[in-house]
A and B are shown apart, each in its own frame.
Chain A
Amino acid sequence: MELLKVSNATKRFSGLTAVNDVTFSVKKGQILGIIGPNGSGKTTLISMISGTHSITEGNIFYKDLSIKKLQPYQRARMGIARTFQIVKPLKNLTVLDNIMTAALFGRHQMSTAKEISLCLSGKFSKTAYIHTKEIMEIAGLQDKSNVFARNLTLPDRKRLEVARALAMNPELLLLDEVMAGLNHKEVENVMKLIRDINKNGVTILMIEHIMKVIMGISDRVVVMNHGSLICDGKPQDVANDERVIQAYLGNSFKNQQT
């Protein structure tokens, strides 16, 4: 079953076309990698799916429903969670409160009336708290629960970003370069984390520059260049595709492979 379908999506920032006529789909349970040079429109694509950017032309379907007119919070409630490449922790809240916020609001279906009653209920949700504890365990942040997010190191901020997205209990997780700036060991850890998340039935769409990661864990890879999709296929096929080597990987990568 296709969980997400992006059809002819285009995004223009006044004169600049950041994403041009992109079409692809993600099956439930897949890990889809997106690669491409800097400025090729990968993050804009993710922003359009999560709703932080509006879509200029085309449409996006999630579970066969068009979501292009929905607000980010509505998409979050439907089960789409994202991380930001430039991390956006809630700086003056502790790690626990950061994840707690996500756990309280994540995937829920609510009417406005119910929402207002939720606002006023004043209940400190116990289930959300237990869920938060679990997520901190998974993300390896359990020792830092009372640390303020502003005091975290970059790897921990990235971890927090993933943890927060996870706490929302998503069905589709959009990861935007969560491994940039991490060292070798940390990359291994996060790779394992992503595999585990995927095993629990979460569909993942990830942008990554580290080819080892992309080749290692994605089921399928799409390649973007200058806002257009230039290749879509299995990791091995993509890595050997002439256009991809030209645009992104470079000839040295080809030599490495053989």
Chain B
Amino acid sequence: MKAFLTGGKQKSILLIMAICVLAVFPYVKTGYIVRFMTTLFMYAALSQIWNILGGFAGYISLGLVGFVGIGAYGTGIIMAVGLNMYVAILLSGLIAALVAMIVGMPILRLRAGYYSIATYAVSFILWQLSNNLIWLTGGGMGFRFKIANAGIDRINAYYYLNMLGIVIIISILCMIISKSSLGYGLMAIKEDEDAANVLGINTTVFKVVAFTISGFFAAIVGGIYGNWLTFIDPASAFDSNLSVMVIIMAMVGAVGTVAGPLLGAVLISIISEVLWNNFLFVHQMFLGVILILIVIFLPKGIMDIFMHREEKLSPRSLARILGENISKFRV
């Protein structure tokens, strides 16, 4: 994981090997585990996308799912006309980017909580649109994709690889952003927007660019998601739980880093899966308790353990980090 940050040679080789293992995985194993991993990748990708604006610039969006929904519906509608899946996904990505740009220009002038509320409202509006534009989306009855004519395992493997691909692409993009002038600008905006402005950063343009990028990629993930499920309806395509889960994952991992959201997505997915398997009725409660503990002990996220520490990781240093954090905790 840390190779994302330090870029050590050995670590990057390890990382490439890990990707290779993940890529052949659906040909070795089949069934539920592959579907679980696909969902995990989707969360990781969305968490990473949220991280571009939410993590680097501190603009917490509660409406990422809006763009996922645009992607899912857009792809379905364009494919119904008879276009290839990838062309449709790309087109719906561009549509979402355009929407993000137009919507972003006014709402990105808002700060902190007001911005979050506005993004939530946007995703809500999109949900209602999909509900009411029956001629286009099928309304509350949902929208059916064409089901591919192939074995179930092959279909599963296909969407697994697509999701894996998009996670890798977005992670590389985030890595580039974190080292580019866009990343520097966004980080400055997070720290102090007025200071950033005085330093010569056109804060509005930077935020809108980041918002547009995140809209584009969220829609691409949505497009793959829709094709994979083969059936979407307004309530599932614009489910605001998804927006919230994505934020939780990024925050558990560590916002503003590339590895953080990935780590958070893996961790939370696995924890919630294990809980769900073992305590079906109260799994949400246990998940809540675990999240609260993480927030108390590691408020900066799991990556806090690995980052900016001179000493090697050992049970002792871990205990010290947790102790430090808990001593800062105030009720």
Q: Are the CB atoms of A73 and B195 closer together than 8 Å?
A: no
Supposing A91-B191, A105-B185 touch, asked if A121 and B180 sit within 8 A by C-beta, the answer is yes
Q: Are the CB atoms of A105 and B209 closer together than 8 Å?
A: no
Stretch at the interface among A31-39, A57-65, A111-119: A111-119
Residues in A whose Cβ lies below 8 Å from that of B195: 84, 88-90
Residues in A whose Cβ lies below 8 Å from that of B91: none
Residues in A whose Cβ lies below 8 Å from that of B201: 73, 101, 105
Choice from B182, B188, B199, B206 contacting A76 with Cβ under 8 Å: B199
Complex CA distance for A124 and B176, rounded to whole angstroms: 9
Residues in B whose Cβ lies below 8 Å from that of A100: 184
Supposing A88-B194, A106-B199 touch, asked if A116 and B209 sit within 8 A by C-beta, the answer is yes
Q: Are the CB atoms of A112 and B185 closer together than 8 Å?
A: no
Q: Are the CB atoms of B198 and A118 closer together than 8 Å?
A: no
Residues in B whose Cβ lies below 8 Å from that of A105: 181, 184-185, 199-201
Supposing A90-B188, A90-B191 touch, asked if A50 and B179 sit within 8 A by C-beta, the answer is no
Q: Are the CB atoms of B182 and A120 closer together than 8 Å?
A: yes
Please tell me the number of chain B residues within 8 Å of chain A, measured between CB atoms: 26
User: Does A221 belong to the interface (CB within 8 Å)?
Assistant: no
Q: Are the CB atoms of B187 and A93 closer together than 8 Å?
A: yes
User: Does B197 belong to the interface (CB within 8 Å)?
Assistant: yes
User: Does B177 belong to the interface (CB within 8 Å)?
Assistant: yes
Q: Are the CB atoms of B188 and A50 closer together than 8 Å?
A: no
**Closest chain A CB from B192 CB (angstroms):** 5
Choice from B191, B198, B209 contacting A50 with Cβ under 8 Å: B198
User: Does A42 belong to the interface (CB within 8 Å)?
Assistant: no
User: Does A192 belong to the interface (CB within 8 Å)?
Assistant: no
Choice from A76, A97, A122, A125 contacting B200 with Cβ under 8 Å: A76
Supposing A73-B203, A88-B194, A116-B205 touch, asked if A101 and B185 sit within 8 A by C-beta, the answer is yes
Residues in B whose Cβ lies below 8 Å from that of A92: 187, 190-191
Q: Are the CB atoms of B181 and A71 closer together than 8 Å?
A: no
Complex CA distance for A73 and B202, rounded to whole angstroms: 6
Q: Are the CB atoms of B188 and A73 closer together than 8 Å?
A: no
Binary contact track A61-104/B, C-beta < 8 Å → 1, others 0: 00000000001111011000110100011111100010011101
**Closest chain A CB from B30 CB (angstroms):** 38
Residues in A whose Cβ lies below 8 Å from that of B202: 71, 73-74, 112, 115
Residues in A whose Cβ lies below 8 Å from that of B192: 88, 90-91
Binary contact track B223-241/A, C-beta < 8 Å → 1, others 0: 0000000000000000000
Identity of the chain B residue whose Cβ is nearest the Cβ of A128 in the assembled complex: B181
Complex CA distance for A101 and B195, rounded to whole angstroms: 11
Identity of the chain A residue whose Cβ is nearest the Cβ of B208 in the assembled complex: A116
Binary contact track B140-177/A, C-beta < 8 Å → 1, others 0: 00000000000000000000000000000000000011
**Closest chain A CB from B6 CB (angstroms):** 14
Choice from B176, B191, B198 contacting A82 with Cβ under 8 Å: B198
**Closest chain B CB from A131 CB (angstroms):** 14
Complex CA distance for A257 and B197, rounded to whole angstroms: 43
Complex CA distance for A20 and B202, rounded to whole angstroms: 30
Residues in B whose Cβ lies below 8 Å from that of A73: 197-203
Complex CA distance for A6 and B195, rounded to whole angstroms: 23
Supposing A90-B187, A92-B191, A101-B188 touch, asked if A106 and B181 sit within 8 A by C-beta, the answer is no
Complex CA distance for A74 and B197, rounded to whole angstroms: 9
Complex CA distance for A52 and B196, rounded to whole angstroms: 11
**Closest chain B CB from A148 CB (angstroms):** 8
Complex CA distance for A25 and B14, rounded to whole angstroms: 62
User: Does A11 belong to the interface (CB within 8 Å)?
Assistant: no
Residues in A whose Cβ lies below 8 Å from that of B179: 122, 124
Supposing A52-B198, A120-B209, A168-B200 touch, asked if A97 and B182 sit within 8 A by C-beta, the answer is no
User: Does A220 belong to the interface (CB within 8 Å)?
Assistant: no
Residues in A whose Cβ lies below 8 Å from that of B203: 73
Supposing A52-B194, A88-B192, A88-B194 touch, asked if A119 and B185 sit within 8 A by C-beta, the answer is yes
Complex CA distance for A72 and B189, rounded to whole angstroms: 14
Complex CA distance for A77 and B176, rounded to whole angstroms: 25
User: Does A123 belong to the interface (CB within 8 Å)?
Assistant: yes
**Closest chain B CB from A188 CB (angstroms):** 28
Choice from A91, A124, A164 contacting B199 with Cβ under 8 Å: A164
Identity of the chain B residue whose Cβ is nearest the Cβ of A81 in the assembled complex: B198
Residues in A whose Cβ lies below 8 Å from that of B188: 90, 93, 101
Identity of the chain A residue whose Cβ is nearest the Cβ of B203 in the assembled complex: A73
Q: Are the CB atoms of A108 and B200 closer together than 8 Å?
A: yes
**Closest chain B CB from A108 CB (angstroms):** 7
Supposing A88-B194, A90-B192 touch, asked if A123 and B181 sit within 8 A by C-beta, the answer is yes
Choice from A91, A102, A119 contacting B206 with Cβ under 8 Å: A119
Complex CA distance for A115 and B206, rounded to whole angstroms: 9
Quick one: which of B191, B196, B205 has the most chain A CB within 10 A? B191
Where the two chains meet, the residues of B that have a C-beta atom closer than 8 Å to any C-beta of A are: 176-177, 179-182, 184-185, 187-188, 190-192, 194-203, 205-206, 209
- Contacts A73-B197, A73-B199, A168-B199 supplied; 4 other A-B pairs, CB < 8 Å: A97-B187, A105-B184, A106-B200, A121-B180
In the complex, 23 of the A-B residue pairs with CB atoms within 8 angstroms, ordered by the A residue number, are A50-B198, A52-B197, A71-B197, A71-B202, A72-B197, A73-B197, A73-B201, A76-B200, A82-B198, A88-B192, A90-B187, A90-B196, A92-B190, A100-B184, A101-B187, A101-B188, A104-B181, A105-B200, A106-B199, A106-B200, A122-B177, A122-B179, A123-B181
